[in-house]
Amino acid sequence: MFSYRHAFHAGNHADVLKHAILVQILDYFNRKDAPYWVIDTHAGAGLYALDGEWAGQSGEVVDGLDRLLGAPQPPELVTRYLHAIQDFNPDGVANRYPGSPALTLRALRPHDKLRLFELHPTEIEVLESTLRHLGTSRRQVTIAREDGFDGLRRLLPPPTRRGIVLIDPSYEDKRDYRHVLQAVRDGLERFASGCFAVWYPLVQRVQAHEMARALERLPVEWLHATLTVRKPAADGLGLHGSGMFVVNPPWTLHEELRAALPWLTKTLDQDGHARHTLAISGQPRNATGEVPAARKPASRAGHPPAGRPDAQKRSPSRR
């Protein structure tokens, strides 16, 4: 039950997709002064040493974050993600990788709240140490040693009526696919306006495809992005890509992903078989799985493109 340690996979291609989208959602929520909550159902350790025993052993960062560092002309979505990584590596060398708790804390304002769930006994100890190191307040951040699927029900709706729910279990247990779907359905009953962000692996398991199709049938606004970086292995093992399904997404996310996914596909391609899809509710897919360009969402007045003024600064290197 407790075999999975995310440190093995920190900074890989799946983290790039998941965390680039998370950073965009957090930036969007910060456009309004009203407070919000972030609930992370499977928080992990929070911060990972890329030159340490775990990540160094797997080396997955080489085909993830490392490929982005120094790559020419990153799109806005990727640029903001790289800035977030840079903030945890002030010496300019990307040897630490922030997980979703750390990235969220970076974005939160004093009146926002973060609620974390983690059941792995070692991961939660590291997470608690990481949060102490980052100087977090107990009033702003709480950690529960509890199954996030169960704990989520207790926290919805948040008192602020604004919130982001990140759901990204390891999926080592095949039942996680069913639990994710049920968590989103139950969550929407309690918090219909909430932003639910679901990460899932692209693996040769029928449960992954069935869950994605079931999520797309939900009668809500959603966005669904996938990124495949290589051809699936002949033995059916391994992670060849990942997907993000976002319920009630920021209206800006679709256009940013339209610009970012082709760049990420080219940059993270491992064997010439990389591809991506992008779909939103209420609009048909074309032959490649994308929403036709002619149906892209219109812009709204008073909402300038998100991002930092220094968005063109060079991202950190690794050595």
- Provide the 10 A C-beta neighbour count for residue 96: 21
Nearest-10 Cα torsion for 305, 306, 308, 312: -60
| Whole-number Å distance between alpha carbons of 274 and 230 | 5
C-alpha 12 chain-centroid distance: 12
CA distance readout (Å), 28 to 18, 98, 190, 288:
16, 19, 23, 28
Secondary structure E strands in 65-183 = 96-98, 113-117, 141-144, 163-167
Q: What is the DSSP letter of 303?
A: -
- From the list 168, 173, 235, 271, the catalytic residue is 168
Of the candidates 150, 152, 174, 154, which has an alpha carbon nearest to the alpha carbon of residue 165?
Answer: 152
Is 168 annotated as catalytic?
yes
Peptide bond into 72 cis (omega under 30): no
C-alpha 111 chain-centroid distance: 23
Do 240 and 233 touch, CB atoms closer than 8 A? yes
| Whole-number Å distance between alpha carbons of 1 and 119 | 10
Three-state DSSP class for 201?
Answer: strand
| Whole-number Å distance between alpha carbons of 276 and 48 | 27
The amino acid sitting at 296 is: K
The helix (run of H) or strand (run of E) holding residue 47 is strand 47-49
Three-state DSSP class for 314?
Answer: coil
Q: Any idea which residues carry the catalytic annotation?
A: 168
